[in-house]
Amino acid sequence: MPVSGVDQVRMGTAEISHRLCTAGQGCHACVSKCPTNALALDVALLRLLVSREACVGCGMCEMICKTVNDRVAIRVIPARQW
């Protein structure tokens, strides 16, 4: 069935490992690549945040993180299959 918008797509949700994420050291490689603008830097905490409402689980952020980090700091947790 065709979908009318991204709000109907949910393949999973991105989860960040703050231990591995280097956003605090200035990395924001994944932020501008997210097609739904689900990623943002919390400038007060110097942490990357994922909007659970906006994230559709496309995996783009995970792919980008792989290219800039030795250890991937963001991964898509697949949505539960019903």
Question: Rounded CA gap, 81 and 45, in Å?
Answer: 34
CB of 10 to ligand SF4, least distance (A): 10
Q: What are the two backbone dihedrals, phi and then psi, of residue 67, each rounded to the nearest 5 degrees?
A: -80, -20
List the one residue from 39, 40, 43, 47 that touches ligand SF4 (CB under 6 A): 39
Is residue 40 at the binding interface for ligand SF4, with CB under 6 A as the rule?
A: no
Nearest alpha carbon to residue 39 among 49, 29, 52 = 49
Interface residue list for ligand SF4 (CB under 6 A): 14, 16, 21-23, 27-30, 34, 36, 38-39, 48, 50, 55-61, 64-65, 68-69, 73-74, 76
